[in-house]
Structure 1
Amino acid sequence: MFILSLTYLKSNGEADRYMEAHMAWVKDGYARGWFLASGRKVPRTGGAILAIGDRTAIEAYVAADPFIIHGVAAYDITELAVTTTVEDLEILKR
């Protein structure tokens, strides 16, 4: 599993300019079966996505995020080797 932590490099107003395109990118990540959960950080300094899949493919996909393309945010990708979950979250062990 991967934790994709994004941090805004520009203002929230600038992030809002690209939010629609970013959210289309997020929805496509779900459609591909890679994204499991996502949301904004509190306070709003960026966001986070829980993802599964091949690291190389995930990294390439992150590079295509409109937030990256327009310099709005930077990503930190952390791989987590999940060993224990509640019963309904076994998918995280992939």
Structure 2
Amino acid sequence: MFGDISELLDHKMEHCKLRFTCKCGVGDEQSGDLATSVEEGLVKLVCILCKKPFASAWDLVVHVQESHEVHLYELKTKNSRQTGGYGHSQAMLIE
């Protein structure tokens, strides 16, 4: 579905904006932009598995993948002999 993490993030930013609406109640109430609230230090991003706080969404994504082995996207490799198309090398977790 997504070739790399940047494609997933681009998709989320373009098509899934409502899921990332900030509800902190501070700052620009019209925009409700989560990224702005995080950048301004108004909200913290916390790993739900270990409760470690992060300064940016990217740092949290990297942490979850490396520390908890949660894969957020699927890598496809060309493998025409076995599958006739693309084989899968990682599991996908998209909520």
Q: What is the TM-score when the length of structure 2 is the normalising length?
A: 0.28
Q: What is the TM-score when the length of structure 1 is the normalising length?
A: 0.28
- Structure with greater strand share of residues: 1
Question: Which has the greater radius of gyration?
Answer: 2
More contact order relative to length (CA 8 Å, sep ≥ 6): 1
